[in-house]
Structure 1
Amino acid sequence: MMVMNTMGSWRAGACGAALAVAVLCGAGALSSVAHAQDESPQARGETVQSLDPRVAKQLLAAYEKLEAENFKGALADLNRLVQQAGEMKPFDRASVYQIRGQAHVNVDRVDLALNDFKAALAENALPAEASLQLRYNVAQLQFQQENYKEAIRGLTEWMRATDNPGANAWFLLAAAYYYENDFKNARVPAERALQLSESRERRQFDLANMIYSELGLADKRTRLLSIMVSLWPDELSYWKQLAALYMQEERSKDALSTLELAYNSGLIKEPSDILSLAQLYSVHNNPHRGANLLAREMKNGRVARNVNNLELLSQLLSQAREHRAAIPVLQEAAALSDTGVLAYRLGQVLLADEQNEAAEKALTNALQKGGLDEKQRANAWMLLGTARFNEAGPGEREQRALADKAFASAAEFAATRKQANGWRDYIKAINDTEDRQARLEREQAAMLAEAARERELSACRSLQIAGRTLSEACRARLDDEG
């Protein structure tokens, strides 16, 4: 009579969702129980059962086909054996069902495998250790079938009968609770899996991370992710999650350091991530580094020179007090924009830099493009009037008239009416002053001309009285006086 070890190493079946892949494919769809079973059946007081020689021979043939991956042939043999099950003793039937179940796993028929394993257990004839292992395998397959409630029930019962459940079992239980959205009950098994694992399995950290996230345990998640970035430094998502947590905890400096380290390690390559880092530099009053980063990545072609990105670069440069450097960037952005908002901002910057002619052009463009809100329109007219006024030199009334026209438009808005009218009054006062000055100059010129004429006439009369020869001019002057 031969005694068969009916538990072997069997190929994993196909896995389902992403976490199920980690749960089942990572450990093998039918993994061995991770706990100590050093005692032999005899030592535990169990009766050692043996297979009927005829059944054993056929099972061995089927087993060899399974080992050779001839699953179709193995199943044909096992199906014939099952047809004879009524003639077998319970242990033989249980063994046949168990091995056929394992064969079904290999051809991805998990439903049939479950039926066979349950049939094997129903015989209540397997050794305690084999029965316990099979119960664990049933729970695994229930999980694979996404029957998480049954998987939880089976694993819980199995754990009560097991002295030292291993990390894989705790992980499977945690994952089943997770898929049932029972995050509170998933937490302890996930933590036990981490504590017991000797290999630092990534899937276990990922599951704990997700559970902590669902429970809002930011502190625990931060500590966990700090370990994860050290274990898997090439995984950008861990760095980003850790940085996001730091921001959530108002530890923005730590968030910046985290993303900066990831960038310097060559992990941050996506435009959105680069832009986030540049903005974070701005938050921490280091816009110069943010501007340099953004300019460099634009030059490298990883960040597009579009309106939004150019606007951000100009803002960083302005924040870094590099106003002159910001102007051409803002000009490029304004030219690409469909609205006049950026041209309006450009006009402000140019006016502050005393580039009045360029400011006038930008502000005119802003008003023509449109898209400004009421406050911006009012201010744009005010700034345009100021730029035009600054361009006007002494006596350039036409230029001041253009400025007055802009201020008149600004006066149509309640927010700028008083200031605009003040400018218009000022321009009128300048014009009035120039008019008075012109009249005074004309009057003075007339007085001087009259005095010169009187002096000339007096001189001519003196020559006439003296009997001297008069010039044609004197004779004409004396004739005019009659």
Structure 2
Amino acid sequence: MKNFKKLALFSALVMSGVIGPTMLSITPISDIGVAYAETKTKRVPALREKVYSQLARAQKLADDGDVQAGLEALDSIKDRASSMNSYEIAMMYNFYGFIYYNENNLAEAIESFELVVAEEGIPESLRLSTTFSLAQLAMANADYNKVSQYLDSWDKINNKPIPESYYTLRGQVHYQLKEYKKALGYINSVISISESKGDIPKENWLVLQRALHYSLNQPAEVVLVLEKMVNLYNKPNYWIQLAGMYGETGEEQKQLAIFEAADQQGFVRSRSEHMQLAQVYMFNGLTYKAAKVLQRGQKSQVVENNAKNNSFIAEAFVQAREEERAIPYFEKASDQSEHGNFDQRLAEVYINLEQYDEAADAARSALDKGDLTFEANAYVALGMAQYNLTNFDASILAFEQAEKHKKSSRLAKQWIKYVKKEKLHADTLKQALL
């Protein structure tokens, strides 16, 4: 009898989220026209050429873009179902399922393939592959309990080696059902099987394994998986995630090393990644590098030019003893804020640089703006600037205002005493010179 071409009924079904691509497949149809197809357990009626040609016509109409005509052709075949054997009926529903699947109508596709496996007179290979495909379709349709039911049915009829896709699908559905320990068992199994054969684990397996360890609050295991992902797949986000996990597990030196290595490869790209690296530098006392990272981010317009970021850069430069570099960033932050806190910090920086006129101006600006977190500090800065400008009376007035604040009271009293003494000394010297 004439052999007809094999039909590959499905290509790939790509699932969302942490779930990677999964292939749907149905056993191809071949050797159509023989009276019976042999299986290990039973004889199966053949798909007659006349019926096949009608089914193929329906499929061609759908493939050519006229889906409605294809479905109508199948409907006309179904009207004559009483003259068809169980295998032919099953293959008719198989074609229905194929068309619905291509139209992304998963509910109708599932219903059609359920009718395929409901028929008794079909090859066990077809029943097996269609049942597995039903599980995959249910996964795509987010019907997770159904997935488990289909896989349980598949378990009962399978007598062949278990494919990798079985383990991953089991892992995926248990993950979605928040049964993380069960899911991890399946994913660990498929990874172990793959590695035992000398193969590289698939990336989406490791992604799911990492997510499961994270969900189970197993940070050390998350680190191990990410280390493997970095070595095998070398993607920017894996480097950044590994650095973050080193921070969570208290391995700050490894965190710094991984983050710097990622940066050297150009993997630090987003705003959050720039901020994370800057904070890691700050934590490790590399304050100049912290400032430079955000400077670079602002230059590339990844990091916003706003008060928060400008003050971060300024403070990093101050801690790096680069006060001159801090000044323009405190000035920017001040211009971008209604409160006077950044003017107060600017006044303190100017005092450190012995630029007392500028310090006095910045302190007054801080007090004029108001809404200060530590108002006393602005008065202290003003008092110190005025003292160094030998404006003793103005200095004493500023320290008297600072004295009203509990936290700075003791310091202010000491300064008042000292400035009064210096004023007396200056006045005495001045009288002596007259």
TM-score of the two chains, using structure 2 as the length reference: 0.84
1:149 Cα deviation after fit:
0.3
The aligned counterpart of 1:424 is 416
Percent identity, please: 24
Query: Cα–Cα, structure 1 residues 311 and 174, in superposed 2: closer, same or farther, change >3 Å?
Result: same
Quick check: 1:89 aligned with 2:85? yes
Greater radius of gyration (CA): 1
CA contact (8 A) 1:100 1:113 kept: yes
The 10-residue stretch of structure 1 (321-330 or 270-279) with the greater mean CA deviation from structure 2: 321-330
SS in 2 for 1:266: coil
Q: 2:25 aligns with which of 24, 31, 52?
A: 31
The 10-residue stretch of structure 1 (62-71 or 310-319) with the greater mean CA deviation from structure 2: 62-71
1:432 Cα deviation after fit:
5.0
User: Structure 2 matches for 1:361-400, cutoff 5 A?
Assistant: 361-373=361-373, 376-392=374-390, 399-400=391-392
Query: Cα–Cα, structure 1 residues 3 and 69, in superposed 2: closer, same or farther, change >3 Å?
Result: farther
CA contact (8 A) 1:10 1:106 kept: no
Q: 2:138 aligns with which of 118, 135, 142?
A: 142
1:248 Cα deviation after fit:
0.7
CA contact (8 A) 2:13 2:22 kept: no
Quick check: 1:413 aligned with 2:405? yes
Quick check: 1:58 aligned with 2:50? no
Query: Cα–Cα, structure 1 residues 363 and 208, in superposed 2: closer, same or farther, change >3 Å?
Result: same
Quick check: 1:404 aligned with 2:396? yes
SS in 2 for 1:285: coil
The aligned counterpart of 1:344 is 344
Counterpart-to-counterpart distance in 1, 2:116 and 2:433 = 123
CA contact (8 A) 2:44 2:87 kept: no
CA contact (8 A) 1:4 1:50 kept: no
Quick check: 1:177 aligned with 2:169? no
1:142 Cα deviation after fit:
1.9
The aligned counterpart of 2:258 is 258
Counterpart-to-counterpart distance in 1, 2:415 and 2:219 = 58
Size of the alignment, in residue pairs?
421
CA contact (8 A) 1:13 1:107 kept: no
Query: Cα–Cα, structure 1 residues 3 and 101, in superposed 2: closer, same or farther, change >3 Å?
Result: farther
1:298 Cα deviation after fit:
3.6
Query: Cα–Cα, structure 1 residues 102 and 436, in superposed 2: closer, same or farther, change >3 Å?
Result: closer
The aligned counterpart of 1:188 is 185
Counterpart-to-counterpart distance in 2, 1:169 and 1:96 = 27
The aligned counterpart of 2:113 is 117
Query: Cα–Cα, structure 1 residues 182 and 362, in superposed 2: closer, same or farther, change >3 Å?
Result: same
Amino acid at match of 1:362: A
Counterpart-to-counterpart distance in 1, 2:280 and 2:274 = 10
Unaligned runs of 5+ in 1: 34-40, 393-398, 443-482
The aligned counterpart of 2:157 is 161
Amino acid at match of 2:329: V
1:12 Cα deviation after fit:
4.7
CA contact (8 A) 1:347 1:362 kept: yes
Q: 2:17 aligns with which of 16, 19, 24?
A: 19
1:185 Cα deviation after fit:
1.7
After superposition, the C-alpha distances for 1:322-363 in whole angstroms (9 at most, x for unaligned) are: 233333433443344322112212222222232222221221
CA contact (8 A) 1:2 1:56 kept: no
The 10-residue stretch of structure 1 (311-320 or 424-433) with the greater mean CA deviation from structure 2: 424-433
Query: Cα–Cα, structure 1 residues 208 and 69, in superposed 2: closer, same or farther, change >3 Å?
Result: farther
Counterpart-to-counterpart distance in 2, 1:377 and 1:400 = 21
CA contact (8 A) 1:209 1:225 kept: yes
Counterpart-to-counterpart distance in 1, 2:424 and 2:73 = 116
Counterpart-to-counterpart distance in 2, 1:412 and 1:54 = 102
After superposition, the C-alpha distances for 1:351-400 in whole angstroms (9 at most, x for unaligned) are: 22322222212211111111223xx22232233222211211xxxxxx22
1:200 Cα deviation after fit:
4.4
Counterpart-to-counterpart distance in 1, 2:299 and 2:231 = 32
User: Structure 2 matches for 1:456-475, cutoff 5 A?
Assistant: none
TM-score of the two chains, using structure 1 as the length reference: 0.77
CA contact (8 A) 1:13 1:105 kept: no
Query: Cα–Cα, structure 1 residues 259 and 180, in superposed 2: closer, same or farther, change >3 Å?
Result: same
The 10-residue stretch of structure 1 (263-272 or 50-59) with the greater mean CA deviation from structure 2: 50-59
1:436 Cα deviation after fit:
6.4
The aligned counterpart of 2:205 is 204
After superposition, the C-alpha distances for 1:386-442 in whole angstroms (9 at most, x for unaligned) are: 2211211xxxxxx22111221222232233334434443444445556666778888
Query: Cα–Cα, structure 1 residues 79 and 405, in superposed 2: closer, same or farther, change >3 Å?
Result: same
Query: Cα–Cα, structure 1 residues 372 and 49, in superposed 2: closer, same or farther, change >3 Å?
Result: same
Amino acid at match of 2:9: W
Counterpart-to-counterpart distance in 2, 1:325 and 1:114 = 66
Counterpart-to-counterpart distance in 1, 2:360 and 2:141 = 71
CA contact (8 A) 2:25 2:130 kept: no
The aligned counterpart of 1:248 is 248
Counterpart-to-counterpart distance in 2, 1:337 and 1:223 = 44
Counterpart-to-counterpart distance in 1, 2:119 and 2:433 = 127
Counterpart-to-counterpart distance in 1, 2:400 and 2:161 = 87
CA contact (8 A) 1:151 1:176 kept: yes
SS in 1 for 2:45: coil
